[in-house]
Structure 1
Amino acid sequence: MAARSVIALVSVAEVVAGDLADHLERRGHDVRQARQPWEAETLLSAGGIDVAVVGDEVTQAEGRELLKRYSSQGGGGEDGPDFILICRPRDLVDKVLALELGAADVIESPLNVRELAARIGGLLMRRGRAAGELIVLENATVDLRSAMVMHRSGAEDQLSPGQVALLKLFLASPRKVLT
């Protein structure tokens, strides 16, 4: 089994951080949190982080410094994490500067947890990390890896191991009657 990808949440608002951490953990990621920039220094310098999400509670200077020192495009080298920065709306100069300094993505707050999780998943796929096995249906998407059904309405259902095994069996034998 592949190692779980590690996501760092740095100075993300507490309300959002709880929802986001729960959402990511249910999808098979290991989530680590740093409430203060100095905690982020310790977390990021230890290595092993795939994606770092930096909240808008970090000052612009602190965010730029983290990018310069630890991003895969900056001082962190190829093994450094990709950064997603959360910024305040209409802060175009900061968005452009963050992207120029090596941020992989910049998203405005308030944010949607599912959208941010999808952006993180996209970054992980580009890094060659295992992506979820997604089955897109008319009104729902099934993630076989995390055993979740995500309905268009936003509701989610957990699948049992038996249900996942049956789905995989049916997918392996399309248009065949199984007995």
Structure 2
Amino acid sequence: MPATILLVEDEPAIQELIAANLLRAGHQVVRAGDAETAQRIVRDALPDLVLLDWMLPGMSGIDFARRLRADERTRGIPLIMLTARGEEQDKVLGLEVGADDYVTKPFSPRELMARIKAVLRRRAPESTEDPVDLGGLRLDPATHRLTAGSTPVSLGPTEFRLLHFLMTHPERVHSRAQLLDQVWGDHVFVEERTVDVHIRRLRCALEPTHHDGLVQTVRGSGYRFSTQTESQPAVR
């Protein structure tokens, strides 16, 4: 699935080159020339990944990274540092402030795309197009198809995104608020009960192939995807 990537880079030529390659790879790109602008963008909506230059006018990339990791809302955003500083102590500092990867300039666009894919696969698998096989279901984001064995299962777009997120984070319990943030986006303001409606629709779609028990209610906490099926209480 295409990821929304926030590119924070103050050199226009480098920003344009990186953005062009990201767009060619199918991603959506949001650009910022400084950390203050990036901060406003993140305040409005969370990106799937941040590409962050170290040397920025005003607030440095390192200081911005620290702020992202200090805030509960933003600490989980995958982050790749871009910098001409290639000394070992600089790399260590970048990783210590919470960067998931550290790419030294000059770099090839191909290498950067590979690093982005690797970080997304590790930190945000729901943002990749890798097929997911779990519990007898195969979900393919690239073709937007879900099959149970050899049987196609029809899902609406929201139910598909919801199942994709749950399947890429199996056995973890997610609250309604967390699912709203991850599936709908944290800038979309809808009632938490909306999640219950789509969980119900998802289970109805999975019921004919007897896979509805994979989507489980954890009373008082939220929902999870588990291959250890159990009887489900009704969503009320």
TM-score computed with the length of structure 2 as normaliser: 0.49
Do the aligned residues in 2 keep the contact of 1:83 with 1:105 (CA within 8 Å)? yes
CA distance in 2, matches of 1:61, 1:36: 7
Do the aligned residues in 1 keep the contact of 2:34 with 2:59 (CA within 8 Å)? no
Q: Which position in structure 2 is the counterpart of 1:42?
A: 40
How far is the alpha carbon of 1:31 from its aligned partner?
0.3
Classify the secondary structure of the residue corresponding to 1:54.
Answer: strand
Structure 1 runs of 4+ aligned residues shifted over 3 Å read: 76-80
In structure 2, relative to structure 1, the CA distance for the partners of 1:28 and 1:76 (3 Å cut) is: farther
Higher radius of gyration, 1 or 2 = 2
Matched, 1:131 2:131: no
Q: Which position in structure 2 is the counterpart of 1:65?
A: 63
CA distance in 2, matches of 1:53, 1:92: 20
Give the letter for the 2:16 counterpart. Answer: G
Q: Which position in structure 1 is the counterpart of 2:78?
A: 82
Q: How many percent of aligned residue pairs carry the same amino acid?
A: 26
Do the aligned residues in 2 keep the contact of 1:12 with 1:56 (CA within 8 Å)? no
What is the aligned counterpart of 1:114 among 100, 106, 110? 110
Do the aligned residues in 2 keep the contact of 1:5 with 1:129 (CA within 8 Å)? no
Q: Which position in structure 2 is the counterpart of 1:20?
A: 18
CA distance in 1, matches of 2:72, 2:107: 27
How far is the alpha carbon of 1:67 from its aligned partner?
1.2
Do the aligned residues in 2 keep the contact of 1:87 with 1:108 (CA within 8 Å)? yes
CA distance in 1, matches of 2:84, 2:58: 11
CA distance in 1, matches of 2:79, 2:72: 11
How far is the alpha carbon of 1:112 from its aligned partner?
0.9
Q: Point out which structure has higher relative CO (alpha carbons under 8 A, 6+ apart).
A: 1
In structure 2, relative to structure 1, the CA distance for the partners of 1:70 and 1:76 (3 Å cut) is: farther
Do the aligned residues in 1 keep the contact of 2:6 with 2:29 (CA within 8 Å)? yes
Give the letter for the 1:129 counterpart. Answer: E
How far is the alpha carbon of 1:8 from its aligned partner?
0.8
Q: Cα RMSD over matched residues?
A: 2.8
Do the aligned residues in 1 keep the contact of 2:34 with 2:58 (CA within 8 Å)? no
How far is the alpha carbon of 1:108 from its aligned partner?
0.7
Give the letter for the 1:128 counterpart. Answer: P
Answer 1 or 2: which has greater helix percent: 2
Give the letter for the 1:46 counterpart. Answer: D
Classify the secondary structure of the residue corresponding to 1:129.
Answer: helix
Q: Which position in structure 2 is the counterpart of 1:102?
A: 98
Gap regions ≥5 residues in structure 1: 135-144, 146-179
In structure 2, relative to structure 1, the CA distance for the partners of 1:64 and 1:130 (3 Å cut) is: closer
Q: How many residues align?
A: 133
Classify the secondary structure of the residue corresponding to 2:29.
Answer: strand
